[in-house]
A and B are shown apart, each in its own frame.
Chain A
Amino acid sequence: MARLTWRAATVAEARWETASARTLVLDVPGWPGHLAGQHVDVRLTAPDGYQAQRSYSIASSWREGGRVELTVQRVEDGEVSSYLADVLETSQQVELRGPVGGWFVWRPASTAPVLLVAGGSGVVPLMAMIRARGDVRGRQPFRLIYSVRTPEDVLYADELRRHVRDDPGLDVHFVYTRKAPEGWREPPGRIGVATLNSHGWPPDFAPDVYVCGPTAFVETAADILVALGHDSRKIRTERFGGTA
């Protein structure tokens, strides 16, 4: 492993995931590959030299010769996120440094059951794990609990449905906090003990748990998991502050 340096990344494609989140598909010459859960730092430089830097989780799993995908949720008044979501065009470049992080990662060779708990765009690195498991046709028991404001805010909705259909041993449960779809079995509300108890794995299974979302969400979910009897050493968390 060598020390990190900044690289030029070219936008090969861009696609909207929701009305406020866009995936950038980046060509990064010399990219060494990455693990599911790792992130990159993106740096923007204005014509007058002003610079701003933010971290973004990698959404894609890595395949030889592949590209790096980032899903950027536009944040109110966010100088970097609004540029990446709304302004940057295909064939333009940004600077990128990575892959970063060796703690909040899932390795396909791991055999333990996995519980993924996502709050909002915290689903991005967890999606990379689901994609990586799909790539190798993994058989590890996988569950995603995905807390999201409304059905329209769900990232990767169609692809998640395909994975649930095609990848044996994968379940996805949604928690809607503001508005649930017509006929949904629970009223909208925040993630709670009942949800994590009935849709997570029992602590006896000793799952590896990955929780990603805004700080308050991560703290709530991690506290409940510990109270339910999960070993805090098996709970890995990543908080983001609504990356501006």
Chain B
Amino acid sequence: MSIISPGFGGRRRSSRPDLPPGQYLTHDFPVLSAGPTPRVPLDRWSFTVTDELGQKTSWNWEEFNALPQEEFTVDIHCVTKWSKLGTTWKGVALDTIFENLESSADYTMVHSYGGYTTNVPVEDLLDGKAWIVHTFDGEPLHPEHGGPARLLVPHLYFWKSAKWVNGLQMIPQDEPGFWEEAGYHMYGDPWREQRYQGD
């Protein structure tokens, strides 16, 4: 049994029925990090898709910005129980990235500068469900929040939206990434509250 502290509210937050189970609403943008923030100069930035045969397709910053850009507003849900509604981003849909790629793999391992990884099924990246974003709220994405560019898969818990993203590897079978190896759920659907293995 925990001792309840009357008058302890914690950070500004409230729970609402339209949020996924166990989530609280937040208005700030908490920064969670598993390591030092990589500083990636734009002239060295690249994003590379590696297929299951090892063939690579890369975009540098200029090429990436020349792809069709989308601006959209979504809700995000962090496994540490905060949700943030109506966040506005700009970037490239994964549908665009995958347009001319041949692959029969069903899963991807997402890679980031700094060594972070996370696994996402291919079908969760397609049909307007995921983007590589570089702009948040009209401003270039701050390095603390994953700039120059991060993955955004808003229908899954936010650890899947890898910061400082630099590539996708197509894999035939699902494999755990950085947090999935250490107890977090392989899929991470906030509406089914898939926080930890076994949830």
A residues apposed to B, CB below 8 Å: 8, 43-48, 50-52, 79, 83, 87-88, 92-95
Contact = CB atoms under 8 A, between A and B. Distances in A.
B10 A46 contact: yes
B2 interface: yes
Given A50-B24, A79-B10, A92 B5 contact: yes
Classify chain B's interface size: 10 to 19
B73 to A, nearest CB: 27
A214 to B, nearest CB: 17
Contacts of B198: none
Contact of A83 (B2, B3, B5, B15): B5
A94 B6 CA distance: 11
Contacts of B5: 44-46, 83, 88, 92, 94
Given A47-B6, A87-B7, 15 more contacts: A44-B5, A44-B8, A45-B3, A45-B8, A46-B5, A46-B8, A46-B10, A47-B8, A48-B15, A52-B10, A79-B10, A83-B5, A87-B8, A92-B5, A93-B3
A43 B24 CA distance: 19
B2 A51 contact: yes
A50 B10 contact: yes
A8 B3 contact: yes
B40 to A, nearest CB: 23
Contacts, number: 40
A79 B9 CA distance: 8
Nearest to B15: A48
B13 interface: yes
B33 to A, nearest CB: 12
Nearest to B24: A50
A50 B22 CA distance: 10
B24 A46 contact: no
Enumerate the 9 nearest inter-chain pairs by beta-carbon distance, A residue then B residue, closest first. Answer: A45-B2, A50-B10, A93-B3, A44-B8, A44-B5, A87-B7, A46-B8, A79-B10, A83-B8
Given A44-B8, A45-B8, A87-B8, A94 B3 contact: yes
Contact of A45 (B4, B11, B13, B81): B4
Nearest to B2: A45
Interface of B: 2-11, 13, 15, 24, 81
Contacts of B15: 48
Contacts of B10: 44, 46, 50, 52, 79
A10 to B, nearest CB: 10
Contacts of B81: 50
Nearest to A50: B10
A167 to B, nearest CB: 38
Contacts of B4: 45-47
A171 B2 CA distance: 44
A57 B9 CA distance: 24
B196 to A, nearest CB: 16
B68 to A, nearest CB: 40
24 contacts: A8-B3, A43-B2, A45-B3, A45-B4, A45-B8, A46-B9, A46-B10, A47-B4, A47-B8, A50-B24, A50-B81, A79-B9, A79-B10, A79-B11, A83-B5, A83-B7, A83-B8, A87-B7, A87-B8, A92-B5, A93-B3, A94-B3, A95-B2, A95-B3
Contacts of A47: 4, 6, 8
